[in-house]
Amino acid sequence: MERAGEALTGGDRGPFGPLVTVEWLAHRSGAPGLVVLDASVGAHRGASRRIPGARIFDIDGALSDHSDPLPHTMPAADRFTDEMRSLGLDDDGTVVVYDAAGIYSSARAWWMLQSMGFDRVAVLDGGLPAWEAAGLPVESGRPAPAPRPGTFTARPRPGWIVGGDAVAAALVDPASAVLDARSRDRFSGTAPEPRPGLRGGHMPGAVNLPFGEVQREGLMRRAAELTGMFAGLVADREKLIFSCGSGVTACVLALAARLAGYRDLAVYDGSWSEWGLPSDRPVVTGR
């Protein structure tokens, strides 16, 4: 039997391009070395339906640093290593991540794994909704544990997850662009922030691209569409930093940018949960 990593790699929707289709995953279900991870968050966390054999990549739980007051903070490398080993992930393994909302928090898991030095990871295009729409089987109940601990070791990549100072520098750097994945009303400050105590508006100089706009009918837009979309927003700037409410949907934009051909990318881990706090960080309203 082929290992998952030896499968076809064509186009922007094959490993590690960075998407796979439900047909790709269904064809390789159970392949040696393939780990499927459910990265659902919020109301979808612990959903009653799951792709058979999937294990839980718990962004709301063990895969956030709860010693930090900000939500969804990236855990330390040793903690990340322990969690990935408990999920049975080997250094030479292959991972497909999905979530029950479609493409929402799965992109965060994809980015976290890459930021920790693991490249053999792809997002399931359309997530669980696309899997079910294709008539593919699901399971319920508690997920089975990994048959054995994995050999994964985190190797953090500097600059993939950044803080507020790096974002502040990018906002005045003509070669960089900061893209905000929140809704247009939140970006403009006309809608209240869902987290209490945060200021409304956006960073001066940031560009708004709501994460849903890089998708169509639950699937990521094609690479050519995304290339045009980003070019219209960032012109010739090649260093892109992504922000959102808490560092989750920022990763959907990172996924879209990767599909569009950009490579110098970073995610602002604190996102608006940090920048929007009362402080001397500048905030503006309007478009």
Confidence (pTM)? 0.94
Nearest to 19 by CA among 243, 260, 183: 260
Q: Examine the residue annotation and report whether 251 is marked as an active-site residue of this protein.
A: no
Same fold, 4-133 and 161-275: yes
Query: 227 near 261, Cβ under 8 Å?
Result: yes
Q: Locate the domains of the chain by residue range.
A: 4-133, 161-275
Which pLDDT score, from 0 to 100, does residue 4 have?
41
Which pLDDT score, from 0 to 100, does residue 245 have?
98
What lies within 8 Å, CB to CB, of 164 at 6+ separation is 268, 270, 274, 275, 281
3-state SS class at 137: coil
CATH of domain 161-275: 3.40.250.10
Kindly name the residue from 59, 122, 241, 244 that is annotated as catalytic: 244
DSSP 158-210: TTSEE-HHHHHHHHT-TTEEEEE-S-HHHHHTSS--SSTTPPPSB-TT-EE--
CATH of domain 4-133: 3.40.250.10
Which tokens in the block code for residue 63? Answer: 């895969």
Nearest 5°: the CA angle 202, 204, 207 is 70
Which pLDDT score, from 0 to 100, does residue 16 have?
57
Which pLDDT score, from 0 to 100, does residue 48 have?
79
Which pLDDT score, from 0 to 100, does residue 144 have?
85
Rounded to whole angstroms, the Cα distance separating 181 from 268 reads 11
Rounded to whole angstroms, the Cα distance separating 22 from 36 reads 12
How far is Cα of residue 202 from the mean position of the Cα atoms in its chain?
21
Which tokens in the block code for residue 3? Answer: 């290992």
The rounded average pLDDT for each run of 10 residues, N- to C-terminus, in the chain (287 residues) is 36 64 94 95 81 96 96 97 98 96 97 97 98 97 92 98 98 98 98 96 98 98 97 97 98 98 97 98 94
Nearest to 201 by CA among 131, 141, 276: 276
What lies within 8 Å, CB to CB, of 206 at 6+ separation is 171, 178, 179, 180, 187, 243
Q: Which residue has the tokens 């009918």?
A: 217
